[in-house]
Amino acid sequence: MSAIIASDHRHLELRVLRYNPQDVDATPAFQSYHLEEADAMTLFIALNEIREQQDPSLQFDFVCRAGICGSCGMLINGKPGLACRTLTADLPAVITLAPLPGFELIADLSVNTGKWMRAMSERLRTWVHMADPEPDIDALEPTMDPDLAQDIYELERCIECGCCIAACGTIQMREGFAGAAGLNKLARLRMDPRDTRSDADVYELVGDENGVFGCMSLLGCEDSCPKDLPLGTQTAWLRRRMLSNAL
Ligand code: SF4
Ligand code: F3S
Ligand code: FES
């Protein structure tokens, strides 16, 4: 006689907002998928299982599956987060997924964060501007104070996932706003002694309502950053530094 083994795993319902802007006949609508939860299941695993076993047309982005590449940002029950770092066990049995707002929609849960990040980086010139634009690459860089290097490294942990942008009310109202990701990059460069630009130079880039004066300290960025970057503190520091040194 075979024993009946009851599964103690939950039944999950994933409600996914589906829309393909390339399809002229399409309209945005939620589609529900049902599956059994597995041990240590992440949203990445759940979505892959759905795509492999139920619906190959479902679109979403993943590369690293380890919280490094920043590709898998999405709205998870209304809050931006990384699908590969989100355990279904930490969510209710009904999970609503939608694409990150503020970015060009590719389809379903896939958005073009790269296009936004590149445009922001070009606008804010978020690279180290050295005195010598063609330094001798065989020469050793001057040493940097280890504590300062550590502080700079902390801010460089941004993976450009876009969660802070999706969580910011200002950017939803003002398209040109640099957002916490942009202001964080400039704060990092202001700390870096290799960047020889003056505060006045940087003030030209962010001394307006699309820069440091656009932030209304809503702090959705900091609440949503999967790398726990101190985004509100950095923006406030940049604003104070700009005001005291650039004017
Ligand atoms: Fe993502 Fe944080 Fe970088 Fe914003 S600052 S893009 S939330 S890692
Ligand atoms: Fe937006 Fe963060 Fe400022 S959510 S308003 S950038 S504190
Ligand atoms: Fe790379 Fe999630 S897949 S951060």
Share of the chain above pLDDT 70, in %: 97
What is the model's pTM?
A: 0.93
Share of the chain above pLDDT 90, in %: 87
In Å, what is the CA distance from 37 to each residue of 16, 17, 62, 171?
A: 17, 20, 20, 36
Residue 227 has pLDDT above 70, yes or no: yes
CA distance 57 to 59: 6
CA 83 to ligand 3: nearest atom = 2
pLDDT of residue 133: 77
Q: Tens digits of per-residue pLDDT, 109-127?
A: 999 999 999 999 999 999 9
Ligand 1 within 6 A of CB of 178 = no
Ligand 2 within 6 A of CB of 180 = yes
Q: Whose CA is nearest to atom 3 of ligand 2?
A: 215
Where residue 76 falls among pLDDT bands split at 50, 70, 90?
very high
Q: Tens digits of per-residue pLDDT, 14-50?
A: 999 999 999 999 999 999 999 999 999 999 999 999 9
Residues 20, 107 contacting (CB under 8 angstroms): yes
Residue 1 has pLDDT above 50, yes or no: no
The Å distance, Cα 244 to ligand 3 centre, comes to: 39
Ligand 2 within 6 A of CB of 216 = yes
Ligand 3 within 6 A of CB of 227 = no
Q: Which ligand is nearest to the CA of 74?
A: 3
Ligand 2 within 6 A of CB of 219 = yes
Most informative mutation of 45, 84, 109, 224 for ligand 3 (most atoms within 8 A of CB): 84
Conformation bin of residue 160: beta by default, left when phi > 0, alpha when psi is -120 to 50:
left
Residue 58 has pLDDT above 50, yes or no: yes
pLDDT of residue 16: 98
Closest CA to 50 of 89, 85, 16: 16
Where residue 136 falls among pLDDT bands split at 50, 70, 90?
confident
CA distance 85 to 72: 9
Most informative mutation of 68, 109, 117 for ligand 3 (most atoms within 8 A of CB): 68
Residue 2 or 112, more confident:
112
Residue 4 has pLDDT above 60, yes or no: no
Mean pLDDT of 128-154: 89
Q: Which domains does the chain have, with CATH numbers?
A: 11-111 (3.10.20.30), 125-245 (1.10.1060.10)
- φ, ψ dihedrals at 106, nearest 5°: -90, -55
The Å distance, Cα 232 to ligand 2 centre, comes to: 7
Ligand 2 within 6 A of CB of 162 = no
pLDDT, the chain, mean: 94
Q: Tens digits of per-residue pLDDT, 85-106?
A: 999 999 999 999 999 999 999 9
Closest CA to 202 of 100, 143, 126: 126
